[in-house]
Structure 1
Amino acid sequence: MQDSPSRDTRIALALALTVRHDGQGGTADDLTDPAGLTAWVAAHPDAVPEAEAFAADAPTLAAVREVRAAARALFARAVPGEPSPADATRLLPVPQALCRLNEAAARTPTVPVLAWADAADPVVRAAPAQGAPADLAATLAQAVIGFLAGPDRQRLRACHAPRCVRYFLKEHPRQEWCKPSCGNRARVARHQDRHRRAG
């Protein structure tokens, strides 16, 4: 059984998964406007301090979308084999993704903060340095960096089901798709392809 994903892993994956298959043959984007980003932060309160008071504006949305584009490009580099065919043509070049991610992460200086609950191991997380304003894009970029540099990256996979653009953590050796519906779509597509070639 795998350890539960770290905070950085959960945040980085949640950000990447704001782009997904829409069930109609295209993709859906949860971050098309500031209201979408505000709703996403509300649904992921560990993404930013004081999430309940967060309200996105257009510059914050643009900065977060840039971090997401960088994250998705670097996720594609991190997975074994090829990235999702549905996503491969939209990815940033790796040097540009690295630059974008590092620049975003540097916008808010952070310090390590130690937490140690009873009967638990100590946990270190990054927090904005005292007096530094919270910057959502910087926080997300730092989470993506933490994930890519951490042990969970080894389990990262791209879903290769038709039209899927999702990434997931492989939970068991036989897992090939992000969710069962993608496995069903892949099996149907293979079946149809075999019949086309045979006919």
Structure 2
Amino acid sequence: MYTKNQSIRELVDKNRILIAAHRGTCGGNVVQNTCLAYKNALLHGADMIEVDASMTTDKVFYAFHNGEEPLELGIDRDIRTMSSEEVEKLFTLNSLRQVCGQKLEHLEDVLEHFRGKCLINIDRSWFYWKEIIDLLDRMDMKDQILLKSGVEEELLKELEESGTGIMYMPIMKSPEEWDIIQKYGINVAAA
């Protein structure tokens, strides 16, 4: 189990394998990418939660995987094309695709809720790394955050230039991509 300021290396040395809960552990009225799903995942033994990030047109971040709008919200529109005012009017659907009264949660609220409680992998944030990195820098949680992306030199350069030291987990598809990553002064914590 993660303890505040514990490094990912210490956790691996202790547990050998880390369990990451993709979008939390959901089902029934526990909707993915919500504090309840993440809390459920931690109760089931996860070391790390994976949180998706989507940003609205007015630059408000939600814990949400764009493309899942039909399944999670019953709409056929990418929330990245919506304002936060529009998103706030939406309710999520449960596993039976019925409105369950929950709303999408602000990414900042989710992060604050799990401050010091677990490792947090932020996924799908590469679309707006500058804004995400600025948010994470303000929140001062880099000891428990891992950013994830495909191996794209533009993103690696942006992460290096941020100077934040945020942990990074590349999505690698070939050994050659490791050579690309090694050219950058970034904090690679996992792959």
- TM-score computed with the length of structure 1 as normaliser: 0.28
Q: Which has the higher strand share?
A: 2
Higher fraction of helix? 1
Larger Rg: 1
Of structures 1 and 2, the one with the larger relative CO (CA 8 A, separation 6+) is 1
TM-score by length of 2: 0.29
